[in-house]
Structure formats: structure tokens, C-alpha cells
């Protein structure tokens, strides 16, 4: 178990630019989640995948955000035309299907995005 | 909808003091409850969990009991250490959450001083 890894750890970009983050889940986990965390707040759910299918998207995920998990392994989260309000920590998590609510989510260390 | 409310921090304690961080929840069904911890510069780590009423989760000296009658899952530790300084998040999951995703509280920052 090598854990969930996210890349990059930090990203600074100028307003209006596009950014893409990558997440590699724990290899045997078929559920993958993206969360956003701002300062002083708990993580907020953005979207999740079961295998390669994106099954739910939060209303927080505007049309500038898109996520993919093309082969049911790693996932990417792209933000187009970034805005200063997009500055946050973006967290990826994975879990296995079998245990339902009893299967804890395993989180990566996150990608901190700063939009200037 | 599902939600979690936890006490606001920051909480500052002296080493060896008793810790309580309050957490209450609102849920559609019968959720599983979790405490996650985030140490400085690190990702969220599962600290403990409880999956049904009256269950007690425990790990590293921390405990929390699932109280259905009071919809609570308070985190306790009898004697905190400087190394326990972190942000603690209470969370829940149940069938009504997409893919059993977690609903988190806002987090409680704990600082333990020598």
C-alpha cells in the first residue's frame, strides 16, 4: 500500500490560466473522490468515480471544472480559466467498494492551488 | 441533508491535560462516523471510526463513542501530548451520500504546549 499520491504539491498560476492536477489512488481501490478545502473549513465534496465512471458531481463543480479517470486508475482534475476564488487545497481520496459506509477514505496530501 | 457540526477552535491545552472535542451530526439514515486528523503539512489521516450506535472507536489513546440518542461522536483523550497538535475533523458517511463520500465538519485546531 503506497498510499494516495497527488501531483503537484503546489501550483501557482495567474488568473485565466488552465491548470491540471493528477491523483494516483491506492491500486486496489475502485472509488476515487475529489474534495476542495479552503482555509478554516472542512473538505467539501466535488465529485467521485467508481472505476472509470463519474457518478456524481457537486454543485460546487462549475463548468470550468472537469475530472476524468480514463482507465479507472489515475484521475485528473482540470480547472479552466482559473479565478482567484479557486485558490484552495484540492484533495483526492480513494476507497474500496465492498464495505459501503464502513470503508474509510484514504486521502492524499493534496495539491495547493494559488491563483494570483 | 447530512451535516456535521464540531466545536470551533483553536483549542490550547497543556501537555497531559484532558481533551474533549465535541461533534454532533444530522443524517438521513444510520451513518458511520469518523474522526480524521491533519498534522501540519500532511494529508488527512483516519484516526478512528464507529459504524453503529454505542460502538466505541479508539486509536492512539483517542476514543469516541457513537451516541444515537444525542447524535454525537465526541473525541476524547485522557492525556494529550505535544505531538497531538493538529487539526481534527469529524465526518460521517451513509447510503445517501454519493459513493459513501464523507461529510466533514469545519475542523478543530488543537495546540498542545509543553
- What does the pLDDT look like over B26-52, one tens digit per residue? 998 789 999 999 998 888 999 999 999
Under 8 Å between Cβ of B75 and B66: no
**Using one digit for the tens of pLDDT, what is the confidence trace for B81-98?**
999 999 999 999 887 777
On whether any CB of chain A is under 8 Å from the CB of B98, the answer is yes
The confidence score (pLDDT) of residue A99 equals 64
| Closest chain B residue to the Cα of A10, Cα to Cα | B41
The confidence score (pLDDT) of residue B97 equals 76
pLDDT surpasses 90 at B1: no
> Average pLDDT of A85-92?
97
Least confident of A13-27, A55-69, A89-103: A89-103
pLDDT surpasses 70 at A116: yes
On whether any CB of chain A is under 8 Å from the CB of B17, the answer is no
On whether any CB of chain A is under 8 Å from the CB of B32, the answer is yes
Strand pairing partners for B57?
B64
Residue with cell 459504524: B51
On whether any CB of chain A is under 8 Å from the CB of B33, the answer is no
On whether any CB of chain A is under 8 Å from the CB of B39, the answer is no
Count of A-B CB contacts under 8 Å: 68
> Average pLDDT of A48-69?
91
Cβ-defined contact of B89 to A103 (cutoff 8 Å)? no
> Average pLDDT of A24-51?
93
Give the dihedral sign, CA A40/A43/A46/A52.
positive
- Provide, rounded to the nearest whole percent, the portion of chain A with pLDDT above 70: 96
pLDDT surpasses 70 at A101: no
What residues of chain A lie within 8 A of the CB of B34, using their CB? 104
Burial of A108 (0-12, 13-18, 19+ CB in 10 A): buried
The confidence score (pLDDT) of residue B96 equals 74
| Closest chain A residue to the Cα of B4, Cα to Cα | A42
pLDDT surpasses 60 at A1: no
Least confident of A50-54, A84-88, B23-27, B95-99: B95-99
Q: Give me the residue from B43, B45, B51 closest to A102, CB to CB.
A: B51
Amino acid at each position: 500500500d503506497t498510499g494516495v499520491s497527488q501531483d503537484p504539491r503546489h501550483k501557482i498560476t495567474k488568473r485565466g490560466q488552465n491548470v491540471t492536477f493528477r491523483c494516483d489512488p491506492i491500486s486496489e481501490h475502485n472509488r476515487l473522490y475529489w474534495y476542495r478545502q479552503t482555509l478554516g473549513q472542512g473538505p467539501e465534496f466535488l465529485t467521485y468515480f467508481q472505476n472509470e465512471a463519474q457518478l456524481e458531481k457537486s454543485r460546487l463543480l462549475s463548468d470550468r471544472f472537469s475530472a476524468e479517470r480514463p482507465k479507472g486508475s489515475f484521475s485528473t482534475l482540470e480547472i479552466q480559466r482559473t479565478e482567484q476564488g479557486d485558490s484552495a487545497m484540492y484533495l483526492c481520496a480513494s476507497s474500496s467498494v465492498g464495505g459501503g459506509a464502513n470503508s474509510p477514505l484514504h486521502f492524499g496530501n493534496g495539491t495547493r492551488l494559488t491563483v494570483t | 441533508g447530512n451535516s456535521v457540526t464540531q466545536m470551533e477552535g483553536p483549542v490550547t491545552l497543556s501537555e497531559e491535560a484532558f481533551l474533549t472535542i465535541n461533534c454532533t451530526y444530522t443524517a438521513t439514515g444510520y451513518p458511520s462516523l469518523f474522526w480524521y486528523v491533519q498534522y501540519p503539512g500532511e494529508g488527512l489521516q483516519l484516526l478512528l471510526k464507529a459504524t453503529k450506535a454505542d460502538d466505541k472507536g479508539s486509536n492512539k489513546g483517542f476514543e469516541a463513542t457513537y451516541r444515537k440518542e444525542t447524535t454525537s461522536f465526541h473525541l476524547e483523550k485522557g492525556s494529550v501530548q505535544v505531538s497531538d497538535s493538529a487539526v481534527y475533523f469529524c465526518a460521517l458517511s451513509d447510503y445517501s451520500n454519493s459513493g459513501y463520500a464523507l461529510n466533514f465538519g469545519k475542523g478543530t485546531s488543537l495546540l498542545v504546549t509543553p
